[in-house]
Amino acid sequence: MPRIQKTFVSSVPLCELKSMRRVLGITLLAIRASLRTKAVVALFALLAVCVLLLPSVIKSDGTAEGSCRILLMYTVGFSFGILCLSTLWAACALFAAEIDSLRIQLSAVKPVRAAEFWLGKWLALLLLNAFLLAAVYGGVYAQLRWQMRANGWGEQIALTSRTVARPILPSVAQEVRETYALLKARDNLPEGMSERAILRALAQNAQERYDLINPGEEKHWRFTLARPLRTGEAITVRIRFDTEFSTRTAVQGFCRLSSGDRAVEVPLDDFSLNEIEFEIAAEAFGAADAFTLSFRHTGDPQESSALMLRFRQDVALLTAGGTFEANLARSALIQWSVLALLAAFGLTLSTGFSMPVAMFTATVLLVLTIVGQSVVEGTSHEDEQEWSNRPGIWVSRGVTTLTQHATQNAPLESVIRGERVDAKALRAALLWNVLLTPALFALLGTHILRRRELAG
Amino acid sequence: MMNPPLIETQSLCKTFRDFWRRPVVEAVKDLGLCVERGEVFGLLGPNGSGKSTTLKMLLGLLHPSSGNVRVFGKAPQDVMVKARIGYLPEVSHLHAFLTPRETLMYYAALFGMPRQGAVRRTGELLEMVGLTHAADRAVGRFSKGMARRVGLAQALVNAPDLLILDEPTSGLDPIGCREVKDLIHLLSQAGVTVLMTSHLLADVEDVCARVAIMDKGVLRAHGPIRDLLRTPDVIRFSVQGLSEGDAASVRAIIEKHAGHPVQQDYPEMSLEAYFLNVVNRDAPQKAFEVAPFLKP
């Protein structure tokens, strides 16, 4: 009697290799779908138009630096915005369209775990985004190099990547705690504000507060570099000011950078720009990694005004930190991590909602994320007292808190300023945006998929 | 020791509800069903009788409102259970942008098959359903019958122990229908359990050993098809090559013993058999090539 061969006897326990094959199969299908339905081709064409045409459409200030900023900030930024939206919408469609069209029935009756479905589709979006983002960055970099050669920008600007060291100051949280304790001890806490509201206001103040250096005053900041100085390199001192131009021009002073018993003093008398940078050769300090920077305001108290600056942000020591290309890659990685997070979010939404509902919800939440930060920063104590404002403020705060890891980095700004994208920020972005938060979304998405009926 | 039934439902109910959780329709009511290993079981009923809903509960696509479903002794959502099932839905719902080869490779991947094995299996299945010539054309451009063949092939990709077929002959021409029925016979002989639904009673009669008839979500009748269809106390003799005179003599003897007149008729072949005879008169009959599945 004829018997059917049981080549693939399914009573064998499902092993990891089989699981990987299933995930890979789902990933390949999603990639095929995006290619065959021409979705990726259309997106690629749109991004190509952005990368090639946008720099010539947007007017720069005519300087090499301004043109470079447009290329990096606007072209990459705009392309990234397009990728954010397309990723979110594609993710919303991946499950929802398959469930709505009942195509998922054939896959759902196969021995595939909900988590494998989720992971396979998410990986497809990650790979497609990696390809598209690499194409955008590659296109912009090629343009940048070409422009530098064709227009002689190379003599005006240098594509660098420098490690930034900030002053050693108490952390924002520590400063907030100390200030709050001090206000409480003096019985000077604002009336009618909750403790949380006061702490929030103090944190904002600690981050954005301007400190003054009046004529005749001297301020010191301590720094520790990530590594000791190397022979032959230079250390750059950078100070930014926010004082008005009319009063700033009369400022004079001395900057002194010291390490142990070695010090270099630099007189400063040109404050016409709101940023001063100067280099000191490493030979002046040897292989030092701890420095003290001081600024003494020697301007005439009658004519000169105080200098305004935010110590946490405006004073920095810069040293060589890898290549511009590597920095560009780090920026791309951070942006890719944000796309990974959006993909995870959209996918999870699509497990529970139909395609239009998932897309609408995702878009609303994206807009809330974008405007939430401004709402939170612009909310005053009086605004909070108004009951009609409270739901909006609560939602904005909630969304801002949940998305802070995704939105706190501005890698393009760092690249444009020639600052090395912080390794800690990169690690945090990858950890939160590619691992932890997507894992939470995956748990939620797979739970919904298991509970949901996949046939009508 | 008796083997437990391969499929068993107890007091199975399914009520569809609206957004506000209000009951809209009771699709299945108090269904108790047993399908034994190796049998071909037919689930019959008019449109809306709850056949497809029952199948979807057996597959874990729908959750019962109450009652129990066990397939291979386990819950249908269990991946170990799913690994042993092949399913052909009423409408194939294939990815239009994939070719039949890619479709089968995809479903083979979902079973965790290694690539080499999947390639071989895909080739065998395409040959079996007669789609080798169209293996690299997009499924979206296929006729309903061709898409159905791809659907059937994907249901067999894992060499299932249980094959669930929802209207398997829907959209197929008479030759295709015959091929599917032959395939079901062969699979059954090889020990595969087949559960199928169909509106076409002749199809069910051809292949099923047992049937259950559902109407408005309720099981109205079930049992071996011979028992259900047999007319009690009636015996039929079929004789070939008997002359008119001899026939009259035999008839007279039987009437004498029975004590009442005997009905005499001339058997006709079914329209399907006649059609197949006509269209295959000049060509050898092409059945599904199941050789790759069968041990010599």
Residue of A nearest to B81 (CA): A111
Contact residues for B196 (Cβ-Cβ < 8 A; gap 6+): B40, B41, B42, B43, B164, B165, B166, B168, B184, B204, B207, B208
3-state secondary structure of A129: helix
Q: Do B35 and B6 meet the contact criterion of CB atoms below 8 Å apart? A: yes
First to last CA, chain B: 31
Write down the pLDDT at residue A11.
Answer: 41
Phi and psi at residue A113, in whole multiples of 5°? -80, 155
Instruction: Tell me whether residues A455 and B83 touch, CB distance under 8 A.
Output: no
Q: Nearest Cα to A92, choosing from A64, A71, A121?
A: A121
C-alpha to C-alpha distance for A68 and A148, rounded to whole angstroms: 9
No. of helices (H) and no. of strands (E), chain B? 10, 9
**Nearest-CA distance from B149 to chain A in Å?**
14
Write down the pLDDT at residue A312.
Answer: 81
Instruction: Tell me whether residues A4 and B191 touch, CB distance under 8 A.
Output: yes
Can you name the CATH fold of B7-231+271-293? Rossmann fold (3.40.50)
Instruction: Tell me whether residues B85 and A109 touch, CB distance under 8 A.
Output: yes
Write down the pLDDT at residue B147.
Answer: 92
Q: List the strands of the sheet with A162-165, edge to edge.
A: A162-165, A315-320, A234-240, A275-281
Distance of CA A357 to the CA centre of its chain: 28
Write down the pLDDT at residue A12.
Answer: 42
C-alpha to C-alpha distance for B99 and B80, rounded to whole angstroms: 28
CA angle B130/B133/B139 to nearest 5° reads 85
Torsion of CA A57, A58, A64, A70, to 10 degrees: -120
C-alpha to C-alpha distance for B172 and B180, rounded to whole angstroms: 9
What residues in A contact B85, CB-CB < 8 Å?
109
Instruction: Tell me whether residues A32 and B98 touch, CB distance under 8 A.
Output: yes
Strands (DSSP E) found in B36-160: 40-44, 66-71, 85-88
C-alpha to C-alpha distance for A324 and A339, rounded to whole angstroms: 23
Write down the pLDDT at residue A3.
Answer: 40
Write down the pLDDT at residue A305.
Answer: 79
Torsion of CA A110, A111, A113, A118, to 10 degrees: -40
C-alpha to C-alpha distance for B55 and B42, rounded to whole angstroms: 11
Write down the pLDDT at residue A247.
Answer: 64
Question: What is the phi-psi region of residue A355: left when phi exceeds 0, alpha when psi lies from -120 to 50, beta otherwise?
Answer: alpha
What residues in B contact A113, CB-CB < 8 Å?
79
Q: Least CB-CB distance to A22: which of B95, B110, B191?
A: B110
Q: List the strands of the sheet with A262-268, edge to edge.
A: A218-224, A290-297, A253-259, A262-268
Task: List the structure tokens of B235.
Answer: 């015996």
Q: Nearest Cα to B152, choosing from B199, B92, B206?
A: B92
Write down the pLDDT at residue B281.
Answer: 57
What residues in B contact A101, CB-CB < 8 Å?
93
Confirm or reject contact between B31 and chain A (CB < 8 A).
no
Report the DSSP pairing between strands A211-213 and A290-297: unpaired
Confirm or reject contact between B182 and chain A (CB < 8 A).
no
Residue of A nearest to B27 (CA): A456
Contact residues for B154 (Cβ-Cβ < 8 A; gap 6+): A106, B86, B88, B94, B103, B104, B107
Contact residues for A165 (Cβ-Cβ < 8 A; gap 6+): A223, A224, A225, A226, A316, A317, A318, A319
Q: List the strands of the sheet with B23-35, edge to edge.
A: B23-35, B7-17, B66-71
Q: Do A304 and A297 meet the contact criterion of CB atoms below 8 Å apart? A: yes
What residues in B contact A450, CB-CB < 8 Å?
77
Q: Which residues pair with A223 in a beta bridge?
A: A291
Contacts of B228-231 spanning 24+ positions with Cβ under 8 A: B229/B205
Burial of A308 (0-12, 13-18, 19+ CB in 10 A): middle
The residue of B18, B53, B110 whose CB has the most chain A CBs within 10 angstroms, and thus the best one to mutate to test that interface, is: B110
Q: Least CB-CB distance to A111: which of B111, B192, B294?
A: B111
Q: Per-residue confidence of chain B (296 residues) as pLDDT tens digits?
A: 567 899 999 999 999 999 898 999 999 999 999 999 999 999 998 888 999 999 999 999 999 999 999 999 999 999 999 999 999 998 888 999 999 999 999 999 999 999 999 999 999 999 989 899 999 999 999 998 899 999 999 999 999 999 999 999 888 888 888 888 988 998 999 899 999 998 788 888 889 999 999 999 999 999 998 888 887 778 888 888 888 899 889 989 998 998 888 888 887 777 777 777 777 655 544 555 554 554 33
Q: Per-residue confidence of chain A (456 residues) as pLDDT tens digits?
A: 334 444 334 444 446 889 999 999 999 999 999 999 888 999 999 999 999 988 888 877 778 888 888 888 899 999 999 999 999 999 999 999 999 999 999 999 999 999 999 999 999 999 999 999 999 999 999 999 998 888 888 777 888 899 999 999 888 889 899 999 999 898 888 877 778 888 888 888 887 788 888 888 999 999 999 889 988 889 999 988 776 666 666 678 899 999 988 999 999 877 777 788 899 998 999 888 999 999 998 888 877 778 888 888 889 999 998 899 999 999 999 999 999 999 999 999 999 999 999 999 999 988 888 888 788 777 777 777 788 888 888 888 888 877 877 777 789 989 988 899 988 889 999 999 999 999 999 999 999 999 999 886
Residue of B nearest to A18 (CA): B112
CA angle B206/B92/A126 to nearest 5° reads 150
> For chain B, percent helix, then strand, then coil, each to nearest 5?
35, 20, 40
What residues in A contact B87, CB-CB < 8 Å?
105-106, 109
C-alpha to C-alpha distance for B148 and B141, rounded to whole angstroms: 13
Burial of A162 (0-12, 13-18, 19+ CB in 10 A): buried
Instruction: Tell me whether residues A103 and B79 touch, CB distance under 8 A.
Output: no
Q: Do B208 and B40 meet the contact criterion of CB atoms below 8 Å apart? A: yes
Q: How far is CA A61 from CA A68, A144, A272, in A?
A: 10, 16, 18
**Nearest-CA distance from B102 to chain A in Å?**
9
